[in-house]
Structure 1
């Protein structure tokens, strides 16, 4: 109800008309439709309803056969007319049966002799392909084929030619790029005729298999943030190249990739690297954005390339980034945004088949669980196939090791399971996890890929907000403390969190628990502590930072660190810095140097986790058998874990008091950031705000 007179095909036998009451008082006794060949199909009024907002709604029966893709105009009794738009009809089973096309030849297929273009657009009346090459701009009409395919073959060498699609649908022309083509120009203004056969992809590097997700240590970083700090020796800051750039300066200053390599993490999780709409790729200094606003799901983001005008450059540079990480023993997980898009009206798939790729009801209302005005619908077969193929392509081309899904709870769990299945065929240790929040989308609750349905997703992990809220305190109220910043009444909840989410049946496997206290969203832990522990000194805040990091790194499950968490990163008390410039978001290596004790603590804790399998138990049954807890004064948490002959005891003290622990056996001190214990002792001192980790003899377990 945006204009005075609208019409929508909601099924093969149903047309809905909306007439403004300012338009002939919204009244008409008869209607008919006419196609582009002047052939008339009569309509019968089934119902009439007055709607809020001054509209009258007519539900009309179609007394004839529709030819999908034909252009129809509806006439009322006053001979006023409106184009009939393809509405909910694209969601019907009959539409799927008639037009589903599950072949892999869509897009641009290049050879030196000819290039074939194919797109899927059953509702399009016409599609023109507009080429630009050598100063010439020929326009070709694509031919409609079965299953809603439009195809064109050009028998000449079109390598590096630019092209767009002019799509006639719902009575209007709209220009778009090819959603199936990975090669685009700056700001996704055009697609480029290319082939991966022409791209210099680096050789893939084999890594030892990851036996369990609990062997992973995830480290979230932004391509831009890591190298945005000036004066750290990086020649190509804020780019794919700069992310893995190393030289004498970066090594001597321990900055950028040199720094990440020194931490000992196993996986780098990158914020979105595929094309997003909120940064001008030609003027990257003007805008900043994390990239959670997709424009093209298969084209890499040009602002991270050293030359966004070269369609192959960003591909080669990103592939080399992955290779460099693998050469350093680091796996690469990508943050994928499959739940919404930057602009629905201009999204290429929407231009080709309006409404098909988005969750909508029969009244034309669109789901808004993402709070972005549109939610992607992954249940229609062609939508499902597009995103599955996209995932397969990313793994095959770039050799990445895992996907993290933004607002995964908007998607359906069967789709996420399919992605996990297909990706694990390519890489058996591929990781799949995401934000399993129960978002209010049109997907029914029993189908959502949310935490409440985790038992339906055997190979999918979820961000554990229970761990976050218990350890650091309320994410929404900075004043409310968690266990790590002094709320000792949460000690029992903290114990269950250390159990990988299986002790309170949040998860049925610790491999699903992504344990974290900080990520790109919301306040950093340091900024949170500066509010809820505002009377404490910088030194104490640093100890609290290490204590929270220790809880994350020693808990059962999968530890997750946000870049800079290991030194107390600040965003100057901003809770959402997604578009707030490099000043707020860059990795500040001078602050890192100032907080070096926290970095040293974090590195040692990572080393301990990797060296002791007791912190990486793989099943619920193992945890039930091999994890025990005690408390000292109901404030200090004592965490005992074992795996075969590996037995460790951890002490977490979030208070200002000094505590002691008497052991019947001599313990070896692996970690003590209070620095008050000798290497071996039966008498353990636990300093205020500190953590002690000990290796114990197996005899002590019984």
Structure 2
């Protein structure tokens, strides 16, 4: 008989799966847990499964082996970690990490399998050199290790020395709030000492509905890495505190540009501490990385600080940036990555509790829906607690206004619901949204936080890849032209997207480009090889008109508004600055496109009828104009509030290469926007209504 698998999902049971159950001889079997043998008091057989009932509970501080016919089989503990039995024994709903007061600091680490945990206190020898000064044995209560040190430990460097299964490792506290350079040693801090002046008066940006927001995605590094930015604190948190920065042509850049554009929320690509192997903080200009490589979740990234050697600096400067943005009425949405880690099996999580923090298939293979080989097991209660604690820490300590969850489809629905519940208790206006892609991980489909399960996550929004691919074509197929490039066949699906047949307006993040894949300009250029620059510019304007007028949450990738290019690179996660930088000279070159975006944003913010938030308001107030050529999209929106001076708006887009005439409702229409002439405004429309090729229009009437 061959044993195929051995696991436990109960402390007093072990399950064996065999290829030939009829040959099983119980007297040939022994169970060893550490150095102790455990007797089998009974067993049952179902199909090819043998369930052993043990005389006492297994101790997970030691490996368990089944010996059968002189062959040892290691018992897999992983299925046990999802059980109520395990959670009753080991779950702790308490504060973890270094809990600081001036009188004492209490240290808590959760590690049920550890046989020993010691607190290691360091002394600083040089800016990037440390020695262990002394170690203190920590006590344990049901898997929770703890100790306290009296006195003021502000700026004390510490780690944990964890011994489990006869191996010892130095680990960084997962709850550390700051670290040394490159994040290999935690630091105790009095966080109140990091608050800028007037921080106590800082407030979240108030948003009544998600559809009232306009999101602008930016990498801190990209924003100011080009010489044309005119910024002195290039590539740093403080770059977004500088006012009156100009391009060589005298046009606003960075913060002033963002304010001029008029968006409501900045979505910052990773600003948490990402792997030193991606960007070495000692030489931060040398390497480039987007930062989707989590190392220390609760710590700001050091390469964005003016002095990464000083553990206070990164925190103080990030708070100064947030305070400045809030003073300018800009919300900050943080891009968070709780679906995987960078260092995988060498990660702190793995050295604190092997396998608990990661997700495995039934074949004991690590899940890799993230593509990184170590999907986090958000469904495990202490992983769920860590993620929730981390997100709420950023919301409270840094006044973060919203969170964009990377690969949110890898996180279970219950975790996202808990996050949403806790965040809304902190800030009723918080924004929560993410990538709801369906990915291959060992969660049941109905438990994944995916686009298809949006109805189970009412207060959470999703990136709408359907509208993205309708507009510019499938991101993985350059030959697939989108609607704005003239493929009128995509108009039907686009209309379905606009009518929210897939997802409600307040849950739909509408976008045409983001940091992933090609920029909008590059995609148009690669798919439309025979069109002129002027025609391509018109396509960008068509795209922006649809994104900023249709129901949902509009999302803009930084630089898109002046035709940003990455020289055709579709995945620039570690490409050098000259690929990723925003060239502010382009703003002058594509000023007409920028002005088009700016005007669209102003119109949307000024008129609530564009900000339909529910399916009911949408179905009752948005009507498509029918019996028109298929390369034209046209619809009207009625004021549903009774307070907008625009009683009706009409949006019309012609993606064809010919001028077109369409019949529109018989009202006294005025032109608010003509993509061919930004100066046209509030002019009474002369009939008939002619749509020029590759053009978009917004009309309005003040008549009911």
Question: TM-score w.r.t. structure 1 length?
Answer: 0.89
Answer yes or no: is the 8 Å Cα contact 2:119–2:138 preserved in 1. Answer: no
Moved more, 515-524 or 658-667: 658-667
Partner of residue 110 from structure 1, selected from 95, 100, 114: 100
Q: Identify the residue that residue 640 of structure 1 maps to in structure 2.
A: 636
Partner of residue 673 from structure 2, selected from 671, 674, 678: 671
Distance 1:253 1:98, change over 3 A: same
Distance 1:75 1:219, change over 3 A: closer
Aligned ranges 1:51-200 → 2 under 5 Å? 62-69=54-61, 71=62, 87-104=78-95, 106-133=96-123, 137-200=132-195
Q: Identify the residue that residue 401 of structure 1 maps to in structure 2.
A: 401
Distance 1:681 1:197, change over 3 A: closer
1:680 maps to 2:681: no
Q: Identify the residue that residue 304 of structure 2 maps to in structure 1.
A: 304
Q: Identify the residue that residue 350 of structure 2 maps to in structure 1.
A: 350
Q: Deviations over 1:229-250 (max 9, x none)?
A: 1142211211111233224546
Distance 1:581 1:90, change over 3 A: same
Q: Identify the residue that residue 529 of structure 2 maps to in structure 1.
A: 534
Answer yes or no: is the 8 Å Cα contact 1:33–1:75 preserved in 2. Answer: yes
Q: Deviations over 1:483-522 (max 9, x none)?
A: 11111222233223233x2xx2x11x31111111111111
Distance 1:84 1:444 in 2: 24
Deviation at 1:7, TM superposition (A): 9.2
Moved more, 148-157 or 273-282: 148-157
Moved more, 57-66 or 132-141: 57-66
1:243 maps to 2:240: yes
Q: Identify the residue that residue 224 of structure 1 maps to in structure 2.
A: 221
Distance 2:348 2:549 in 1: 45
Structure 2, unpaired ranges of 5+: 18-26, 126-130
Distance 1:615 1:471 in 2: 19
SS in 2 for 1:315: helix
Distance 1:361 1:44 in 2: 30
Moved more, 258-267 or 633-642: 633-642
Q: Deviations over 1:405-456 (max 9, x none)?
A: 1111111112112211111111111111111111121110111111111111
Q: Deviations over 1:160-180 (max 9, x none)?
A: 221121111122112110111
Answer yes or no: is the 8 Å Cα contact 1:122–1:148 preserved in 2. Answer: yes
Partner of residue 267 from structure 2, selected from 266, 269, 279: 269
Distance 1:76 1:480 in 2: 59
Distance 2:44 2:287 in 1: 51
Question: TM-score w.r.t. structure 2 length?
Answer: 0.89
Distance 2:543 2:66 in 1: 68
Q: Identify the residue that residue 22 of structure 1 maps to in structure 2.
A: none
Distance 2:33 2:474 in 1: 60
Partner of residue 210 from structure 2, selected from 208, 213, 225: 213
SS in 1 for 2:298: coil
Q: Deviations over 1:272-322 (max 9, x none)?
A: 111111211112122211111211211111111111111121111111111
Partner of residue 696 from structure 1, selected from 679, 683, 701: 701
Q: Identify the residue that residue 367 of structure 1 maps to in structure 2.
A: 367
1:619 maps to 2:614: yes
Aligned ranges 1:643-654 → 2 under 5 Å? 643=639, 644=642, 646=646, 647-654=648-655
Q: Identify the residue that residue 230 of structure 2 maps to in structure 1.
A: 233
Distance 1:231 1:416, change over 3 A: same
Distance 1:228 1:331, change over 3 A: same
Q: Deviations over 1:643-680 (max 9, x none)?
A: 13521112101122122346644321111122397821
Distance 2:227 2:397 in 1: 32
Answer yes or no: is the 8 Å Cα contact 1:107–1:181 preserved in 2. Answer: yes
Q: Deviations over 1:79-111 (max 9, x none)?
A: 99999885443333322110111012x211233
Distance 1:248 1:574, change over 3 A: closer
Distance 1:77 1:606 in 2: 71
Distance 1:420 1:77, change over 3 A: closer
SS in 2 for 1:65: coil
Deviation at 1:534, TM superposition (A): 1.2
SS in 2 for 1:297: strand
Answer yes or no: is the 8 Å Cα contact 2:464–2:508 preserved in 1. Answer: yes
SS in 2 for 1:138: strand
SS in 2 for 1:591: helix
Q: Identify the residue that residue 472 of structure 1 maps to in structure 2.
A: 472
Distance 1:131 1:482 in 2: 59
Moved more, 355-364 or 314-323: 355-364
